[in-house]
Structure 1
């Protein structure tokens, strides 16, 4: 009897790790974009498929798109509270909550979204994540290709925005519009076309692909052809959901939560945006204005107050704003993403 007990104990000791490594789990991933457009179809979905394949079926990810489980601004808290296991977050939808990350929203800093995604990933984990997002696990950073200013009339210099109502991409862009004497019109992306058609807004800062995604080509056919800004989303994971995974499943998640994957998921969206830009350029009904060097300099000069405001917000939270800014610039240079 004693020998049998020892043998059974030995078997259980061996089977324990094997059972843990074979853990099967279903994770709920929520996002707020339509399931067919590039952020989902060429970014979020391929990432989830790669995780499931790498886990050999142990990890299943159920995806809930288009705000099925909650409004876009609520997605960070949905992950923190465990309402979902994974969520797609736009920090710019919650003004003032993530002051360090808001640096990525200041215009004219990056001209390559794929390279910038890696730069932001590395920079933020080292300089801001612990202070602002320590209650989640960051999986990847997901900006679109540098967005542009799309309007109903020609806009080539900062002075041209005075008196115009513009739908901004995020809180920082709203502040920029205000600084230039324009009026920011805050409406969700699906409502932009209505705002433009009714005259509530006269322009929008959007990625190129959104012109087709939201059927805006007739509403705003004039485009300022310069890398204007980034809107940089993140996929984050509830820490409890991660901690409950087996070591083998944690390893799969870790292998898919890094700056290389930030670059991979951003590539598909960037390709889609650039294809949309080429399509617009081939459309005789569209007008492209390329700013002169002097106009580019004027735009960049006009954005300088945003840095002062950003520094004040970070300093108020106890951060070393100058060091954080220098680190971001260095990361953009390292990955060849600087404007």
Structure 2
């Protein structure tokens, strides 16, 4: 008996360092405690941060306390543009990736970024998460893609009224991403690259005349103080993914991987984005009620002119997918089918 206890004691002392000398017994299979770093480039006041905390807390609960996540907001671990590579290289274990931040890198995902395509973030998230799962495993193969989601559509906010594509000619605009940047250039405008916290100052100083931005975030960053006119139409949205380092995921026990899988589904994509969507929607309501702002819809004719003028943008997207070895017709048909299924198309 003493010899058996000695053997057990030696085995316990020889347990590798990464196990942190702690195990949780689930049946006959001990699970080591794993600490994971979650990197977000948004400030703590952004609604996505507490939503991610709720997601992480539920993972810890369902794993019996063996998966513990610490959230690092505000680019503490790296710049927003680097978050895909941070997940790939293990700088963080889970990262928040904006597919449009690196032009040309994720050409399939860019289909969801085309203007006047998706009418709202809630149904759009359901459609886009279902659609992109088929393609993410090849387009983002260096990581484990947890889910995809959208923010509620943003629009053009400006110092002068804009109703037609031709109105952008000669304007200086801060774009939301590479797709909107291409749109601005196509219509004769100039892109002004500046971060969200710097955008208000850029507009007030005349460096920019307009910005494409979601509604609630416009108020959060104080940009509403610098613009007066707002197109009341879903111009664009952005596709985001949560990406997990592959080595970290594969090193988990089967039970722990199942917990992660159970939190990397369409339901959690909707739950993560829900409070953010509500936040952006509330911003639109607030600005519409403010007499100092003019929030105006586009007529059917004006919207038709925008869509007609944007066809070259879709053709450029298709060419990029073909260049990467993909089939743009099949990709686009799959997206349109998903949007129709969830009644998310504009």
Which structure is richer in relative contact order (CA contacts within 8 A, separation 6 or more)? 1
Q: List aligned pairs for 1:236-275, cutoff 5 A.
A: 236-275=243-282
Provide the rounded CA distance (Å) in 1 between the counterparts of 2:212 and 2:147.
23
3-state SS of the aligned residue for 1:311? helix
Provide the rounded CA distance (Å) in 2 between the counterparts of 1:17 and 1:261.
25
8 Å Cα contact 2:109-2:239 kept in structure 1: no
Partner in structure 2 of residue 145 of structure 1: 152
Q: Which residue of 103, 109, 124 corresponds with 1:101?
A: 109
Q: Offset of 1:249 from its aligned partner? A: 1.4
8 Å Cα contact 1:21-1:249 kept in structure 2: no
8 Å Cα contact 1:20-1:247 kept in structure 2: no
Provide the rounded CA distance (Å) in 1 between the counterparts of 2:254 and 2:137.
23
Provide the rounded CA distance (Å) in 1 between the counterparts of 2:60 and 2:292.
44
Gaps of at least 5 residues in structure 2 are: 13-23
Partner in structure 2 of residue 40 of structure 1: 49
Q: Offset of 1:113 from its aligned partner? A: 1.1
Provide the rounded CA distance (Å) in 1 between the counterparts of 2:25 and 2:66.
16
Q: List aligned pairs for 1:1-339, cutoff 5 A.
A: 18=27, 20-41=29-50, 43-126=51-134, 128-339=135-346
Q: Offset of 1:145 from its aligned partner? A: 0.3
Provide the rounded CA distance (Å) in 1 between the counterparts of 2:236 and 2:153.
5
Gaps of at least 5 residues in structure 1 are: none
3-state SS of the aligned residue for 2:188? coil
Range 80-89 or range 240-249, more displaced: 240-249
8 Å Cα contact 2:83-2:97 kept in structure 1: yes
8 Å Cα contact 1:147-1:205 kept in structure 2: yes
3-state SS of the aligned residue for 2:193? coil
Q: Offset of 1:334 from its aligned partner? A: 1.0
Provide the rounded CA distance (Å) in 1 between the counterparts of 2:83 and 2:28.
33
Q: Offset of 1:21 from its aligned partner? A: 4.7
Deviations 1:280-328 (A, max 9, x none): 1121111111111101111111211111000100001111111111111
Provide the TM-score with structure 2 as the length reference: 0.90
Provide the rounded CA distance (Å) in 2 between the counterparts of 1:245 and 1:37.
30
Provide the rounded CA distance (Å) in 2 between the counterparts of 1:276 and 1:247.
43
Partner in structure 1 of residue 21 of structure 2: none
Aligned length in residues: 328
Provide the TM-score with structure 1 as the length reference: 0.92
8 Å Cα contact 2:88-2:142 kept in structure 1: yes
> Could you list the runs of 4 or more consecutive aligned residues of structure 1 that deviate by over 3 angstroms after TM superposition?
15-22
Provide the rounded CA distance (Å) in 2 between the counterparts of 1:186 and 1:212.
19
What is the alpha-carbon root mean square deviation over aligned residues?
1.9
